[in-house]
Structure 1
Amino acid sequence: MHLPTSLFASFLQSRRVLRHFRRPTILWHEHAAGARQQVPPALAQGLRQVAGEDAAALLLRLGTREDGLTPGEAEARLAKSGPNEVGHEKALPLWLHLWLAYKNPFSLLLTALAVISYLTEDVAATVVIATMVAVSTLIRLVQERRSGSAAEALKAMVRNTATVLRHGGDGQSVQQEVPMRALVPGDVVHLSAGDMVPADCRLLAAKDLFVGQAAMTGESLPVEKFATSHAAAADGGAQTDVVALPNIVFMGTNVVSGTATAVVVSTGARTYFGMLADHVMAAGPTATAFQAGVNQVSWLLIRFALVMVPIVLLVNGFTKGDWMEAFLFALSVAVGLTPEMLPMIVTSTLAKGAVQLSRRKVVVKRLDAIQNFGAMDILCTDKTGTLTQDHIVLGRNIDVLGAPSDEVLEFAYLNSYYQTGLKNLLDHAVLEHAELQVNLKLHEHYHKVDEIPFDFQRRRMSVVVSERDDHHELICKGAVEEVLAACSSARIGGAEQPLDAALLARVRAVTAALNADGLRVVAVAMKEITPGQAVYSVADEAGLTLVGYIAFLDPPKESAAPALQALAAHGVRVKVLTGDNDLVAARVCRSVGLAVDGVLLGSAVEAMDDAQLADAAERHTLFARLAPLHKERLVRALRSRGHVVGFLGDGINDAPALRAADIGISVDSAVDIAKEAADIILLEKSLMVLKEGVVEGRRVFSNMLKYIRMAASSNFGNVFSVLLASIFLPFLPMLPLQLLVQNLLYDISQIAIPFDRVDDDLVRLPLHWNPGAIRSFMLCFGPISSVFDVLTFALLWHMFGASDVAHQALFHSGWFVEGLLSQTLIVHMIRSPRLPFLQSRPAAALLATTLAIMAVGVWLPMGPLAVYFKLVPLPPAYFGWLVALLLGYATLTQLMKRFYLRRFPWQ
């Protein structure tokens, strides 16, 4: 039987479109363990050779220099090697796409029916069925190609870049940001915290470089990489795991901390990541929660078809005696029961939704993420840039006891100026004091010796500078408690005092007062070191002297409070997850009207098991001083309670939570790893933009549900009517050809559903897949059409004499018109819980297709084509009765809506 897989199989054809939006780095690790054992020997040997080769020899072999390629060289190599893309699928040729659009069980079933009709010399049936196949195939082809074009246009709006050294004609080199897809072998790239590694690269220089390789290995802890040649690889150590090579960094991984310079050795499909991509794509796509929801609904309809179609065959075979005709009729019923427009409706609705979202500054990377966007009931977000203006200004620079101090600002400026890692908004606020370059005479008196990059465990970073070449100064800045942990003294009034318990208490009182005022405090410390040391490490961050603090203000956004109110009105609860100080975070939350009933700190999260954390996550609104893995645990804890959780983040520390969320949301200004991990990218970091996106996601989902509800209820009623008529009539209630034409016309009337309006009430709360609700809807509304079908049967039998085989054409014609008009009418009756046309108006496109199909349905028996479909003109008196039947149908359906709404939610 084709039916058990037919309904969902055609939907999966749209994976060619959805694959454009898939986030690869999140999926590869699921297959990494098996794939690592299948590394092609040539690839493994090549990487080992690169790892063991002397850096100068490698650069010579690659035809490049330490300061990179010239723009002309890079352009020529790009033309030769192709774009640096993995798993990229070229646009399908039109003929192949046409074949794939046709090749589904629905079309195959109809084609078989057309062949049988042709062999039995039923030309009219052959033409109609062939038309049905052609229309269905062409609609799917056009929609998928339009969706593919929309996908490519949206992809072009979000591009990751890499920092590349370009060699100039004057012997100088400059750093440039170029799209990752434009990288070529031989390019020299600069890497720092938050960057995605853009290709397989050999390190030329590295400083405290830690790389997250979970996308490749599934291992959560980052690994340290070094720039030295790997002797074991050079010796041909075939046992060396390729991923473990310490001087090779791989496409798809990300820099957790530190900095590096590396040369690109392979790009695109020739990378280790490209090999994994081919392995994963060959294994086929993994069903998402959205696809699982479609599948559940599909199986509901399939089970109904599997029960009803054999019954129709047996009843007509035994009562009419013509088993071939009964078989063809049962096949026609099977076609009628199959909502063959589902793949087209789903694909076009999602594609249209993605385009609509892009107009609201929301770029969708994965089409099926739209449903999760609309179903989201909890949003987890950082405060910076969402609740605040994301424009941090330096508010105060003060000494240890709170007095203004220019010396503290000077030390902070030196630290921010010379660090080469991830410069955050705090650094940019400090560097706005450009006059200090002149005051400090940076280029005359200072040069950089080394730096100790930031990481999220230490939460501080240091630079070492040489002042007039007579001593080194290690300058450290970072979170207050983490800097204090490295200090043994404090500078007060120009003199150093031991940082004892009493002084520590005074320090904490000063910083707490600043936090209570809503200021974010960064501690600054330093120590002088005798020259002679060239390389410094975390171990040197000890015995520091606390100099003072720099405090920053990030004012609340004016739009934050109304946006929070709008989200709450739409059933979305907002929780703030931040690594910042709890006092600062609480002050910001209260200023925008977000109730804070206690704060859960990262230390408390660490101490809880999963069950305790799930309880705490439900109760609390604000979570502060969190590490990246704390955010991930909180997201998973909320999901374990049945919530659909969105996470909004833009930093490297947000990547684990973005991956764990049902819907990962980032912004176009985010670090590469955050954008890569997200499902949706906001072109403006605003909760109001997010709220508009949520509402649009619900509109998209609501339109898909309309079609599914209509198909389910209409099919149920039609088959019930067919069964009743088959039992009592001496002839078939409708010929197979007529049933197919009716089904074709009805399908065409549904094309405009993706463009329909959606009532505001229907997008006020999150929408979820609920097969049980669809079943209830089908059972409540399906029998109504059967009531009026039976009344039509009685009318045709008794009033118009269509009671024997000789007059069956009149019966077929009457039921053909009534069935088609009632089916198209039901679209408007159940598209909204409100009173149709008066309280809820359909889109013009849907109204136009409905009227056009109703007109065609009335014209067919009356026009010149009637003979081909074995229909006959209907008597004028019939149309008066038909209007009365349709009015009664509409009235009873409206009454049933009231009954239904008292017992079930309208979804």
Structure 2
Amino acid sequence: MIRNLWEQLFSRFLKKYHLTRYFSKSASFDELQQTSYAQQVGEQLTTTLKHASKCSVDELVLEKKSHIEGLDEQEAEIRQKHYGLNELQSEKPLAWWQHLWYCYKNPFNILLTLLAIICASTDDMKGTIVISTMVVISTILRFWQEAKSNKAADALKSMVSNEASVFRRNSGSKFIKNDDAIYNTKENKNLVDIPTKYLVPGDIIKLSAGDLIPADCRLIETKDLFVSQAAMTGESMPVEKFAIHESENANDTMALDNIVFMGTSIVSGTATAIVLTTGNQTYFGALAKRVTDNDQVVTSFQKGVNNVSWLLIRFTMVMAPIVLLLNGFTKGDWTEACLFALSIAVGLTPEMLPMIVTSTLAKGAVFLSRKKVIVKRLDAIQNFGAMDVLCTDKTGTLTQDKIILSKHTDVMGQISEPVLLLGYINSYHQTGLKNLLDLAILEHASSEIKMEKLSYNKLDEIPFDFNRRRMSVVVKTPKKQARIITKGAVEEMLNICSHVEINHEIVPLTSELSKTILTNSQNYNKDGLRVIAIGYRDSEIEENKTYGIKDEQGLTLAGFLTFLDPPKDSSVKAIKALHDYGVTVKVLTGDNEFVTQKVCQEIGLPHEHIVLGEDIDDMSPVEFKEAVEKYQIFAKLNPMHKERIVTQLKENDHVVGFLGDGINDAAALRTADIGISVDTAVDIAKESADLILLEKSLMVLEEGVIEGRRTFANILKYIKITASSNFGNVFSVLIASAFIPFLPMLPIHLLVQNLLYDVSQIAVPFDNVDEEALKKPQRWEANGLGRFMIFFGPISSIFDVTTFLLMWFIFQANTPEQQTLFQSGWFIEGLLTQTLIVHMIRTQKIPFIQSCAALPLLVMTAVIIMIGIFLPMGPLASYFSLQPLPLSYFIYLPIILLAYMVLTQLLKKFYVKRYGWQ
């Protein structure tokens, strides 16, 4: 009950002073799981786009109060003030004072600040100074480390400013300057280039190949327009867009033929369009806003710090009052007892934890920066080490993001050079869309084929469209004949072919042959290959003849061209390495199941079963929970599917990483414990990520995992050592307070001892880590820490009591008049055992023999030991209420220290055997 009351009061305090983020719990995902993708991006926006798709151009121009020749400058300026800039909402960086507050606001600093205030109110200025020094060092070091890391990340992030060609009436030939916008007049006096952020609804814009679409627009005119929507849907192949919506599918917003979306790009062709929505009101912006509006999900690292913090705070809240009451009643001086209890509270607080954490993480960030990885959020490095599941997109991460021609065969699967020649001539001479498939054909052809195509001169062309799913070119052959060469989808090609070429013989295309050809094609599909068929027909040349769709009849089917988006060379090694380090890789992609299955087969992932997005929609919560555990490949997913999978894995007690680069990955990147993206990703994906890879190399993930585990090991090392040694000191204080008629150590002694110990721990981030500690994911275990603390802490008390007896009986420091001698003896022994225990508990091996600390930690240990001995023995002794010890004391001291180390090592073996070591 007392604990619940305390937590309620503390929670109110955190909430009042905006500290709840440090202690926040993961929000429930139930509502999000039941919300459709359309609802997530806004039903009103979806309705607006569908309405614009149905309207005629004249009606839409009238609705938008625009003009077919564009807005005039005055109207554009008025709209810009009304709608705002055409920019996506983004997370603003913290001001320096906000960042400083963020670095300060951890529970340990808050607790120490309260203790410093109490010390100041009781005129204990020495204690106030020491405690304040701890807080300042911890806060400033963390602030400096994070500021340096953030500055480096900002310097490396590439920011691109895009322009759009827009029709503006009355612009003439003048240059108009508006803030940083300069309108560059083109040959068409009404067509000018402006930064895309100044576009407004109603603007008429010109689009051409290579342009990023700057807003959600309705197409007015198009010519061979193909748009890549991979950033929105995950599909690598471009889609054709028209000025009129022709598809029967009017429910899927992304399938509207005459609507183009911000964040997509023009692959080929040209278009004129009217801007419908800008900025956060776009489809892209709605998703971006959905991501940035949500608070950053609490990660495994934050939960772990939270649990450990509460554990240590509860220990403090129990032990400090006991010390107060015991010393108050036995000594009778309640003011001194209060100060002593406050010192105990400080002693139990690992006040340097934030600094140690930040320093260790910053060291990891420096290491990763050498591997061309930008660390945006330091916490992510530890999560890298704790990660046991990595979810990754397929296109561009596991694969090369480059289509290659895999095979060129006849219909029976035999390699055929004539088929490649036909494909090359078709791709070379077409003037419409040269997509990834055409580029793959052109790159694959040999020099002989490239020379042979010179014998074929182009006569005409029949462009591609998605209704026919094929395209044709007509060429003049060396035999002075007209040859129509057509390539397209296998089913469509079979419909226009009457013959087939097998073993250089042309035979009629029968129904049995058609079935065989379809079967062969489907076998390629099952291997994850994209298949197109190619056919031809020769005829006499007719002067001034214009060829059309009706001429695509009676063709001879020559064979197949098959294509593959191949996996990266590094994928197999990286996945094996991650598996060896206990990380399961799961593929989450929007691409089709056949291509995904093939890629996964080649990189060594289990591929027997694939879960599709439509399967997920039909699953019960229990089935879904089991599916994300059991299967490793998920295909044809939308962004909400990806986010649901990541969230469910986290709820299944996994630490989850997500690697992606598209807008469709942003929500999952945000939800994951560690989001990983690449510098070529869309801006919202980079903003949602914690780490940004400057190179799409999966091998850096293995190095990141190892560095993350090394980082975590050193952080945990500090917590375990500090918590157990501090607890041991407090336990010794309780024993001494019960039997000794004076304070065993003054408050200033405890504070100085604690400060010196904390300074020695600054070197912990640079310590070595045993190889065994890097082999499996590491997690925060508050219960394990409590057990470790209670097990190893009292060991030091055995030798503290030995020191008490030594000082009491051997050196006769057994009266209030001799308490300074007693306190000096325990000051040195307590500091040395606390400092040396670092080397005992930093490894489960035998210290200095099987596992030696890094040089910085060895040096710091030696320096602190010398300072600890110097304070009582040197000229500053009286200032700290200490006194020099007899030289015979230093004969007993090594014996005590050696016995302490031997007993700790023996008990450590017992602990490892029973509980393990983390």
Number of the residue aligned with 2:608: 598
- Structure 2: runs of 5+ lacking an equivalent: 1-5, 23-31, 46-59, 167-182, 234-238, 245-253, 477-481, 538-548
8 Å CA contact 1:418–1:463 kept in 2: the answer is no
Following superposition, the deviation at residue 763 of structure 1 comes to: 0.8
1:295 deviation in Å?
0.7
Aligned equivalent of 1:21: none
- Map Cα deviations across residues 247-279 of structure 1 (whole Å, 9 max, x no partner): 99887x768999977788999899999999999
Distance 1:360 1:100, change over 3 A: closer
Q: In structure 1, which of residues 765, 775, 778 is the aligned counterpart of residue 789 of structure 2? A: 778
Report what 1:807 is aligned to.
Answer: 818
Distance 1:124 1:654, change over 3 A: closer
Per the TM alignment, residue 764 of structure 1 is displaced from its structure 2 partner at its CA by 0.6
Query: Which of 844, 848, 852 does residue 859 from structure 2 map onto?
Result: 848
The 1:548–1:35 alpha-carbon spacing in structure 2 relative to 1, beyond 3 Å, is closer
- Tell me, yes or no, if structure 1 residue 748 matches structure 2 residue 750: no
- The Cα shift of 1:902 comes to 0.7
SS of the aligned residue for 2:741 comes to: coil
How far 1:462 sits from its partner (Å)? 6.5
Moved more, 786-795 or 683-692: 683-692
Distance 1:586 1:501 in 2: 29
Match of 2:518 among 504, 507, 510: 507
Q: 1:145 aligns with which of 133, 144, 147?
A: 147
Contact 1:525/1:547, CA 8 A, preserved across alignment: yes
In the alignment, the residues of structure 1 paired with residue 649 and residue 107 of structure 2 have an alpha-carbon distance, to the nearest angstrom, of 40
- Pick from 409, 429, 435: which aligns with 2:423? 409
TM-score, scaled to structure 2 = 0.72
> What is residue 66 of structure 2 aligned with on the other side?
54
Matched to 1:54, the amino acid is: S
User: Distance between the aligned counterparts of 2:730 and 2:143, measured in 1?
Assistant: 30
Q: Aligned-pair distance for 1:828?
A: 1.9
For 1:100-140, what per-residue CA distance to the aligned partner results, in whole angstroms no more than 9, with x for missing partners?
A: 65576655665565566556555544544444444344333
- The residue number in structure 1 matching 2:432 is 418
Establish whether residue 316 from structure 1 lines up as the match of residue 318 from structure 2.
no
Counterpart Cα distance in 2 of 1:119 and 1:575: 58
Residue of 699, 711, 723 corresponding to 2:710: 699
Q: Is the 8 A contact 1:862 1:874 kept in 2?
A: yes
Can you list the C-alpha shifts for 1:765-824, whole angstroms capped at 9, x where unaligned?
111222222122112212112222222222222222222211121222222222222222
8 Å Cα contact 1:415/1:477 also seen in 2: no
Residue 135, structure 1, aligned to residue 137, structure 2: yes
User: Relative to 1, partners in 2 of residues 1:643 and 1:894: Cα closer, same or farther, differing over 3 Å?
Assistant: same
Alpha-carbon distance in structure 1 between the residues aligned to 2:280 and 2:558 = 52
How far has the Cα of 1:861 moved from its partner? 1.5
Matches within 5 A, 1:195-206: none
Q: Structure 1 residues 102, 361: closer, same or farther in 2, change over 3 A?
A: closer
Counterpart of 2:423, as a letter, is L
Give yes or no for the alignment of 1:521 onto 2:525.
no
Quote the Cα distance in structure 2 between the aligned partners of 1:352 and 1:299: 27
Q: 1:642: how far off? A: 3.9
The residue correspondences of 1:119-518 to structure 2 (distance < 5 A) are: 122-153=124-155, 156-157=156-157, 171=187, 185=199, 286-381=297-392, 393-402=404-413, 404-406=418-420, 409-410=423-424, 413=427, 418-419=432-433, 424=436, 426-432=437-443, 439=453, 452=466, 477=488, 484=491, 488-490=495-497, 492-493=499-500, 500=511, 503-509=514-520, 512=523, 514=524
Whole-angstrom CA distance in 2 between matches of 1:397 and 1:876? 91
Q: Distance in 2 between matches of 1:347 and 1:202?
A: 50
Aligned partners of 1:477 and 1:523 also within 8 Å: yes
Whether 1:572 aligns to 2:583 is: yes
SS in 2 for 1:752: helix
* Alpha-carbon distance between aligned partners in 2 of 1:281 and 1:581, rounded to the nearest angstrom: 29
Deviates more, 1:138-147 or 1:266-275: 266-275
* Residue identity matched to 2:148: R
> How has the CA–CA distance of structure 1 residues 320 and 902 changed in structure 2, closer, same or farther, with 3 Å as cutoff?
same
Aligned to 2:247: none
- Find the counterpart in structure 2 of residue 906 from structure 1: 917
Tell me how far 1:224 sits from its aligned partner. 13
Q: What amino acid does structure 2 have at the position aligned with 1:322?
A: D
Alignment of 1:802-841 (within 5 A): 802-841=813-852
Q: Provide the rounded CA distance (Å) in 1 between the counterparts of 2:439 and 2:362.
A: 39
Aligned in 2, Cα 1:13/1:249: closer, same or farther, shift over 3 Å?
A: farther
Q: 1:749: Cα distance to partner?
A: 1.7
Q: Which moved more, 1:184-193 or 1:889-898?
A: 184-193
Query: In the alignment, what sits opposite 2:619?
Result: 609
Q: Secondary structure in 1 aligned to 2:848? A: coil
Distance across 2 between alignment mates of 1:436 and 1:745 = 77
C-alpha separation in 2, matches of 1:603 and 1:103: 42
Task: Measure, in 1, the Cα distance between the counterparts of 2:208 and 2:355.
Answer: 44
Amino acid in the other structure paired with 1:364? V
Q: Equivalent pairs: percent with the same residue?
A: 48
AA aligned opposite 2:150: G
The residue type paired with residue 52 of structure 1 is: K
Over 3 Å counting, the alpha-carbon distance change for 1:868 and 1:838 in structure 2 is same
Distance 2:120 2:680 in 1: 61
Shift of 1:762: 0.6
**Alpha-carbon distance in structure 2 between the residues aligned to 1:856 and 1:686:** 48
User: Contact 1:450–1:465 at 8 Å: present in 2 too?
Assistant: no
After superposition, give the CA deviation of every residue in 1:14-72 in whole Å (9 maximum; x if it has no partner). 999xxxxxxxxx99x99999998999xxxxxxxx999713255654338999xxxxxxx
* In structure 1, distance between residues paired with 2:867 and 2:240: 71
Quick check: 161-170 or 750-759, which moved more?
161-170
User: After alignment, is 609-618 or 284-293 more displaced?
Assistant: 609-618
Superposed, which structure 2 residues align to 1:630-709 within 5 Å? 641-649=652-660, 662-669=673-680, 675=686, 678-709=689-720
Q: Can you list the C-alpha shifts for 1:271-315, whole angstroms capped at 9, x where unaligned? A: 999999999989865533321221111111112122212212211
Q: CA deviation at 1:864?
A: 2.2
Q: Work out the CA distance in 1 between the residues paired with 2:842 and 2:456.
A: 70
CA deviations 1:549-578 (Å, max 9, x no partner) are 312366776655544443332122345567
Q: Is residue 424–residue 441 contact of structure 2 (8 Å, CA) maintained in 1? A: no
| Paired AA for residue 66 in structure 2 | D
- Alpha-carbon distance in structure 1 between the residues aligned to 2:703 and 2:64: 54
Task: Quote the offset at 1:898 in angstroms.
Answer: 0.9
Change (3 A) 1:117 1:778: closer
Contact 1:204 1:262 (8 Å CA) reproduced: yes
The one-letter amino acid paired with 2:439 is H
Moved more, 648-657 or 803-812: 648-657
What is the rounded CA distance, in whole Å, between the counterparts of 2:91 and 2:509 in structure 1?
Answer: 61
CA distance in structure 2 between the partners assigned to 1:766 and 1:358 by the alignment? 22
> Based on CA coordinates, which of the two structures has the bigger radius of gyration?
2
**Gapped regions of structure 1 (runs ≥ 5):** 17-25, 40-47, 66-76, 216-222, 229-242, 454-459, 529-535
Residue type matched to 2:65 in 1?
E
Give the Cα separation in 2 of the matches to 1:612 and 1:112: 50
Alignment CA distance shift 1:505-1:338 (3 Å) = same
Whether the 8 Å contact between 1:377 and 1:571 is mirrored in structure 2 is: yes
**Alignment-mate amino acid for residue 519 of structure 2:** R
Matched residue count? 821
SS, match of residue 870 in structure 1: coil
Kindly indicate whether the alpha-carbon contact (under 8 Å) linking 1:35 and 1:279 is maintained by their aligned counterparts in 2. Answer: yes
